[in-house]
Amino acid sequence: MILWNEKEILGNIKGSYCNNKIPDISGVSIDSRTIKRGDLFVAIRGENFDGHDFINQAIKNGAYACIAEFIPLEVDADSHPVVIVDDVRDALVSLATFSRERTKAKIIGVTGSVGKTSVKDSIAFVLSTDNKTHSTSGNFNNDIGLPLSLCRMEADCKYGVFELGMNHSGELSYLSNILRPDIALITAIESVHIEFFNSVEDIVDAKCEIFNSLVDDGVAIIPSGKHEHQIRMNCSENNVKNIISFGTDMTNDFYLENYCVDESNNKNTVTAKLKKTNEKITYSLGVEGKHNAVNSLAVLAVIDGLGLEINKLKEEFVNLQATDGRGRVYDKNNGSVNYTLVDDSYNASPASVKCALENLKTRKSSDSNGQKIVVLGDMLELGNKSVEFHRSLSEDVKKNDVDKVIAVGKLMKNLYKELPIDLQGKYFDSYEGVEGFLNEYICEGDILLMKGSHGSNVWKIAKSLIEK
């Protein structure tokens, strides 16, 4: 596979020096540890690292060429193609811009406070059954990750599905300008990253920046709810005329009529309704939870926005799997007992914790004595309402049949104190020591839910348990 050739690279960045002919490139990377033979290594400078320190390692690991701002002394500049630029990040964006210009693929941009990675992965999975599809790897969704993902897209793809993240105003406008999506999707808007905004309404406006560079006659896919009017106003200001809404309200273009779980075989069945035709669409869903059922409506809306056949592609929904760290379920044995691990540990917000607890309530233990144990780590970036947000989760814990809570972190201690004594499992200042405790605490048939913001490090506990 040829991803980039010399003419495309040198023709789209302002390079001042290249000492060798650049071979055809098959990949683009910013990480020397995961470099593959044939990759172009881009020496990005980060807050805690400088890619220039790893150019030699990247070459040793198989990089065919590098883009850098200077050549370190230890690099053999006479043997390897190195393109010198004024700003490596600008060069990466320039390549990404050309990648967008050269492709005929339909580009889908996905953002939202919660659910964006899972929805992005679901869209990419379903579309890949129709034609060649490229998508963001993991959550490469920021000012480096998005252009890097675009640079990795092959020119002959039919679809490109990209995640756009933000925690400050202006970020999505910048990313949208690079991506120029044909379809722009907002999954949901909640009080995530509220620390950096004055109000949820400001978050709404920031999320709606994804519409700023929507192509002419592009499609906006929006969630229903209390922010729908404000989102529609933003669409109007951006001259977006094609809008598809989804949610649980009958006024939505795609709305959830019914979601049910057959406990005998854990089969999830969704009945959606398409407002414009009054057609009922019924399908099996490979991931559990009402929130995932609602998310699947967003996927239907994308299919519809692309003009594809819904009744054909809906059959793929049964094969969807939860993304790592976002509700994936594992049957585990710790050497003495069997238990179920629900790994939702990648991140956490008040809204996503509530969804996870509601989903846990519907899950049945394989043993009549099995308990539902929840490990909750701190929810971060909630600003001056952090304590209030953590305390308020106590009602959600109580109404969703949780048996014990293991609280991790100083913020989550506020929840722990609010809980009745019979729901208090144990409190830890940090993630260290939690795994050892769980190995002794878990009993046959228990269901263990792991949830916390990435910075709480609950994901490290889950990762260790999964790998055992």
pLDDT digits (tens, 9 = 90+) for 146-169: 999 999 999 999 999 999 999 899
**What is the CA angle 176-106-136, rounded to 5?**
60
DSSP codes joined into one string, 270-281: EEEEETTTTEEE
125 and 35 assigned to the same domain? no
Query: What is the distance between the alpha carbons of residues 342 and 358, in angstroms, rounded to a whole number?
Result: 13
Q: How far is 198 from 186, CA to CA, in rounded Å? A: 20
Total number of domains constituting the chain: 3
Is residue 41 a contact partner of residue 65, using CB atoms and an 8 Å limit?
yes
* Measured distance CA(354)–CA(369) in Å, rounded: 24
Contacts of 382 (CB under 8 A, 6+ apart): 191, 194, 195, 349, 350, 389
Predicted pLDDT at 196: 83
Residues 292 and 353: their CA atoms lie apart, in Å, by 14
Residue labelled with tokens 């889950």: 462
In a domain, residue 211? The reply is: yes
- Residues 6+ positions from 34 with CB-CB distance below 8 Å: none
For position 265, what pLDDT does the model report?
A: 59
CA end-to-end span of the chain: 37
Place of tokens 């949820």: 200
Question: Which structure tokens are listed for 392?
Answer: 């308020």
Residue stretches of the chain with pLDDT short of 50: none
Q: Which domain holds residue 141?
A: 103-319
Per-residue confidence (pLDDT) for residue 79, from 0 to 100: 75
pLDDT of residue 383: 87
Say whether both 356 and 435 belong to one domain: yes
Q: How many residues does the chain have?
A: 468
pTM: 0.91
* 397 and 432 both lie in a single domain: yes
- Are both 164 and 65 inside the same structural domain? no
In a domain, 294, yes or no: yes
CA gap 280, 297 in Å, rounded: 12
Find the CATH number of the domain harbouring 151. Answer: 3.40.1190.10
Residue that finishes a domain, picked among 319, 337, 367? 319
- Residue 392, in any domain of the structure: yes
DSSP 119-133: HHHHHHHHHHTTS-E
Contact 465, 329 (CB under 8 A): no
Q: Rounded distance, CA 43 to CA 7, Å?
A: 20
183 and 312 both lie in a single domain = yes
The CATH number linked to 355 is 3.90.190.20
Q: Are residues 236 and 160 in the same domain?
A: yes
The continuous run of DSSP H or E covering 447 comes out as strand 447-451
Tell which of 319, 345, 373 closes a domain.
319
Whether residue 276 is found in the same domain as residue 138: yes
Is 112 contained in some domain? Answer: yes
Beta strands in 156-295 (DSSP E): 159-163, 183-186, 219-223, 242-247, 254-262, 267-274, 279-285
Find out whether 454 and 346 touch, Cβ atoms under 8 Å. Answer: yes
Q: How far apart are CA 223 and CA 80, in angstroms?
A: 50
Write the single-letter amino acid at 425: G
Query: Residue 384 has what pLDDT?
Result: 87
Q: Please calculate the CA angle 433-438-442 and round it to the nearest 5 degrees.
A: 170
* 81-97 confidence digits (pLDDT tens): 899 999 999 999 999 99
Helix (H), strand (E) at residue 463: helix 458-467
Whether residue 444 sits in one domain with residue 307: no
Would you state the pLDDT for residue 6? 93
Measured distance CA(8)–CA(379) in Å, rounded: 44
> Does the residue 1 lie in any domain?
no
Q: What is the DSSP code (8-state) at residue 326?
A: T
Closest by CA to 144, choosing from 117, 174, 186, 183, is: 174
Q: Which domain-ending residue is among 319, 338, 356?
A: 319
Whether 266 maps to a domain, the answer reads yes
108 pairs with which residues across the strands?
Answer: 161, 183
Residues 300 and 342 reside in one and the same domain: no
Residues whose CB is less than 8 angstroms from the CB of residue 128 and which lie 6 or more positions away in sequence, other chains included: 159
- The verdict on 77 and 193 lying in the same domain is no
Residue 98 lies in a domain: no
- Phi, psi (degrees; rounded to nearest 5) at 153: -80, 125
| Dihedral of alpha carbons 427, 322, 382, 393, sign | negative
Find the CATH number of the domain harbouring 76: 3.40.1390.10
**Residue 185 shares a structural domain with residue 286:** yes
DSSP assignments along 245-262, one per residue: EEESSTTSSEEEEEEEEE
Considering the domain architecture, whether residues 122 and 197 belong to the same structural domain is answered as yes
Domain assignment present for 197? yes
The three-class DSSP label of residue 66 is strand
